[in-house]
Structure 1
Amino acid sequence: MSHTIDTAMKRWENRVAIVTGASDGTIGGAIALDLVRHGMITIGVARNISLVEKLKDADTSILKKGKLIAYKCDLAKPDEIEKMFTWVKANYGGVDVMINNAGTSVMKPILEMGVDEMRTQLDLNVIALTLCCKLAINSMLERGINDGHVINMNSVLGHQVYGHLNFYAATKFAVTALSEGLRKELAKKRSFIKITQISPGRVETKFLYNSFGVSESDKAKALYNSVKSMSPQDVSDAVIHALSAAPHVQIQDIIFNPIEPTPPGMMK
């Protein structure tokens, strides 16, 4: 099976990918490393580029296959996103694969959430993702790239409301609508650029620690210790699966969960 994937991924060798939220120890970091392993020129985007540079220490042998370039960008600032795409065009010609992985949440009920907390999630989870989609797709279209791929990191919460992280869920429902809307817009243009959304359930990263906040970090630790969660590599495997599909096949949605359910009451 791995040989089949490796063969299918050869068409991406020496092509350019952007991965947002590509810090060490994150889903984006795992994705960036896998793309480099498959020979891609990968722009790893983060506010702290030292965490992207740290990825190179994980497996120095992969740098003989592809390239990992760290790029500093605050995705909450549209002008920085636009400058990033201008820089990628000037230095690498444009983008062929766009992985919108960066996201944030606040572990509060909607009834207790402040406006600034709402805007922070909207700015990153919806506005930044939409702008990256727009600029990436336009980069592909203007260069006549008809086999590009945009992958939006969604969540199981983008398909079903569970009663926690409810505002975050609303932003992820927006990602579901945006992904389908982009597919329809590209179909009207008779373009074969693919749009995939990846919707994982519980993944063991810093995400829940950040959501709960420092004062309640013990809750995140207890949840991760209570059941077997998925890993960033599990999510990256799903991304590679979508990218390795035959050119005439568009994998639109991948929704997956750890086999052990979250214990009742753990997310309250």
Structure 2
Amino acid sequence: MTTSNSTSPAAAPVAVVTGGARGIGLAIGQWFLDHGYKVALLDIDQPTLAATEHALARPGDVLALHCDVSQPEQVDAAAAAVLARFGRVDALVNNAGVAVFKPVLETTFAEWRQVLSTNLDGAFLCSHAFGAIMVAQRSGAIVNIASISGLRASTLRVAYGTSKAALIHLTKQYAVELGNFGVRSNVICPGPVETEMAKLVHSVAIRSDYYDTIPLGRYGSTEEMANTVGFLCSKEASFINGQYLAVDGGFDASGVGLPTLRRNNPDLQDVGAAS
């Protein structure tokens, strides 16, 4: 005989996390599992997603769905699968994202569209599909994962930074309209986080620039990002709507990368000499 409603499948809240196979997305999914949620993990990387599903070893609580969030039909199919399996959606975390790190004039239109189609279009499509479920319930929370690059410009991030800035505004648009149905929308803006992607793309020089600029003097952890997202989805944040929160160790007070860019680009080494 069941003695606690928290163990009933009908009573368990449900979270959907895009880009949930690794890194920040996986940490967020783990936070939800640790707090009694059923979790749907969406990811375009099917082998990694399958490995994550196997490692979590919680088939009753985890639904792993191969999904390209930039494709409307795949997002709609994922929403239908989540609803068929769990019957509701209480939290959506739009975490799926890609980046191209190149100088502005070397970034192609194809690369621009690649980044925006995942980072911005994906959040739009998922918020529509899963937001409709939450609107029907008259409850729920959306948290988008933007970036400190969406709050201020940095080097080599024209597509990435622009997509994240747009995502911050998109969050406010959903907050204004869906808030009328009891669905809250907020966004976090992580600073540098210790992930596999960061280890691949952050050179020694860039890491040094970050350390020199962040008041706390370190990178954030995926668990710190997950804790913030979990709070924003929880009842403790029930009157927080349409807000962004920089989770960055204080980095929003400054910037990074310009000295390294100038040192590495002979065309910029004379910048400022005339003055």
Give the TM-score, by structure 2 length.
0.78
Question: Which AA in structure 1 matches 2:249?
Answer: P
Separation in structure 2 between the aligned mates of residue 181 and residue 255 of structure 1, nearest angstrom: 19
Q: What is the CA deviation profile of residues 166-223 of structure 1, one whole-angstrom value per residue up to 9, with x for unaligned ones?
A: 2211111111111111111124xx222110101111112133466x4xxxxxx53554
The 5 A counterparts of 1:56-95 are 63=58, 67-95=61-89
Question: Which AA in structure 2 matches 1:243?
Answer: C
Unaligned runs of 5+ in 1: 1-11, 213-218
Q: Which residue is 1:171 aligned to? A: 163
Separation in structure 2 between the aligned mates of residue 94 and residue 205 of structure 1, nearest angstrom: 31
Unaligned runs of 5+ in 2: 1-9, 212-217, 263-275
Q: Which residue is 2:139 aligned to? A: 147
Is residue 104–residue 156 contact of structure 2 (8 Å, CA) maintained in 1?
Answer: no
> 1:48 Cα shift?
2.6
Q: What is the CA deviation profile of residues 1-34 of structure 1, one whole-angstrom value per residue up to 9, with x for unaligned ones?
A: xxxxxxxxxxx9611111011123x000100011
**Cα distance, 1:76–1:186 mapped onto 2, change above 3 Å:** closer
The 5 A counterparts of 1:46-125 are 46-55=43-52, 63=58, 67-125=61-119
Residue 197 in structure 1 maps to residue 187 in structure 2: yes
Is residue 193–residue 219 contact of structure 2 (8 Å, CA) maintained in 1?
Answer: yes
Q: CA RMSD of the aligned region, Å?
A: 2.7
Q: Which deviates further from its counterpart, 177-186 or 12-21?
A: 12-21
Q: What is the CA deviation profile of residues 59-116 of structure 1, one whole-angstrom value per residue up to 9, with x for unaligned ones?
A: 66xx49x712211112232211111112112222232210000111101122111111
Question: Which AA in structure 2 matches 1:232?
Answer: T
Residue 236 in structure 1 maps to residue 226 in structure 2: yes
**Cα distance, 1:29–1:164 mapped onto 2, change above 3 Å:** same
> 1:121 Cα shift?
0.6
The 5 A counterparts of 1:208-223 are 208=198, 212=201, 219-220=202-203, 223=206
Is residue 198–residue 239 contact of structure 1 (8 Å, CA) maintained in 2?
Answer: yes
Separation in structure 2 between the aligned mates of residue 27 and residue 97 of structure 1, nearest angstrom: 16
Separation in structure 2 between the aligned mates of residue 245 and residue 46 of structure 1, nearest angstrom: 27
Separation in structure 2 between the aligned mates of residue 258 and residue 96 of structure 1, nearest angstrom: 29
Separation in structure 2 between the aligned mates of residue 50 and residue 137 of structure 1, nearest angstrom: 28
Q: Which residue is 2:153 aligned to? A: 161
Is residue 96–residue 148 contact of structure 1 (8 Å, CA) maintained in 2?
Answer: yes
Q: Which residue is 1:254 aligned to? A: 245
Larger radius of gyration: 2
Give the TM-score, by structure 1 length.
0.80
Is residue 31–residue 236 contact of structure 1 (8 Å, CA) maintained in 2?
Answer: yes
> 1:256 Cα shift?
2.2
**Cα distance, 1:138–1:254 mapped onto 2, change above 3 Å:** same
The 5 A counterparts of 1:10-25 are 14-24=12-22
SS at match of 2:20: coil
Instruction: Give the alignment partner of residue 45 of structure 1, picking from 28, 42, 45.
Output: 42
Question: Which AA in structure 2 matches 1:175?
Answer: L
What is the number of residues matched between the two proteins?
A: 242
Question: Which AA in structure 1 matches 2:75?
Answer: I
Separation in structure 1 between the aligned mates of residue 261 and residue 63 of structure 2, nearest angstrom: 37
Is residue 27–residue 232 contact of structure 1 (8 Å, CA) maintained in 2?
Answer: yes
SS at match of 2:203: helix
Question: Which AA in structure 2 matches 1:202?
Answer: P
Is residue 27–residue 236 contact of structure 1 (8 Å, CA) maintained in 2?
Answer: yes
Separation in structure 2 between the aligned mates of residue 267 and residue 21 of structure 1, nearest angstrom: 30
Separation in structure 2 between the aligned mates of residue 99 and residue 78 of structure 1, nearest angstrom: 17
